[in-house]
Amino acid sequence: MAEDAIVDAVPPSHRTRFGLPTLQTIVIWVVCAMVGIVAGILLAVHSVSSGVFGSQTAIGPWTTGSDFGTADASAKTRAVVARRGLLALPASEARYYNAAVDDSGQALNGHCRYRISGGALPARWWSLTVYDGDGYLVKNDPGVYSIGSAALRPDEQVRWNVAVAPNKQPGNWLPSGNIDHFELTLRVYLPADGGSGNLERTQLPAITREAC
């Protein structure tokens, strides 16, 4: 049926005397079809590869989404989550906030020193983790990859600071491993609102580049 439609769409001037499309016409159709299929696949792969984990909503430098693991998730969200955070929990269990840039919009650079400052979050517990561009933990000598609310002193719970830098820093320190680009993921477990809403900009940690 589809072949009939293609043959019908070929003007008489581009058919042989037997009424069939010329070889040149067939080549044009085949090339267009193949280019279309390959372009569609490449565009989809690029879209997923360049997609940010939880990119539906931007809140300052943080991006998030709330339909992970649900049937409501769009095809693109589902593909990006599978690529960037397979087996992510639904919003009622955990909310994921990802940052690939600082407060000024510059990409997070593992050669620089950043100050991450935040306060108490309306959840049972939270953790902040440094990942490389592929979504894996950043190699570092002390083997420190994250900091969580459970590890903070009681007096730090309401106002905390973490330095993200390649070299050891006083206080709370997350090594950035001297890599060119890193990302931060803030996991907020058992959010007080059941995951129905996003944290506000004032509740999410500030990401300030201090030195480079």
List residues binding other proteins (CB under 8 A): 6, 9-11, 14, 25, 28-29, 31-33, 35-41, 43-45, 47-48, 53, 69-71, 75-76, 78-79, 81-90, 92-93, 124-125, 127, 129, 131, 134-140, 143, 145-146, 148, 150-151, 185, 187, 189-190
Q: Which is nearer to other proteins, 146 or 208 (CB)?
A: 146
**Nearest alpha carbon to residue 95 among 57, 141, 130, 46:** 57
62-64/113-119 β-pairing: unpaired
Backbone angles phi, psi at 126, to 5 degrees: -145, 165
Output the smallest distance, CB 69 to other proteins, in A: 4
Minimum distance of other proteins from residue 52's CB (angstroms): 12
* Residue 22 vs 117, nearer CB to other proteins: 22
Judged by beta carbon, residue 20 or residue 31, the one nearer other proteins is 31
Q: Taking the CA atoms of 21, 24, 29 and 34 in sequence, report the sign of the dihedral they define.
A: positive
Evaluated on CA atoms 170, 176, 182, 188, the torsion sign reads: negative
Least separation in angstroms between CB 97 and other proteins: 13
> Which of 48/120 has CB closer to other proteins?
48
Taking alpha carbons only, the member of 79, 70, 57 closest to residue 201 is: 57
Q: How far is the CB of 126 from other proteins (least distance, A)?
A: 10
In the complex, what is the shortest distance from the CB of residue 76 to other proteins, in angstroms, rounded to a whole number?
Answer: 6
Q: Closer CB to other proteins, residue 189 or residue 209?
A: 189
Neighbouring C-beta atoms of residue 83, cutoff 10 Å: 15
**189 in Cβ contact with 96 (< 8 Å):** no
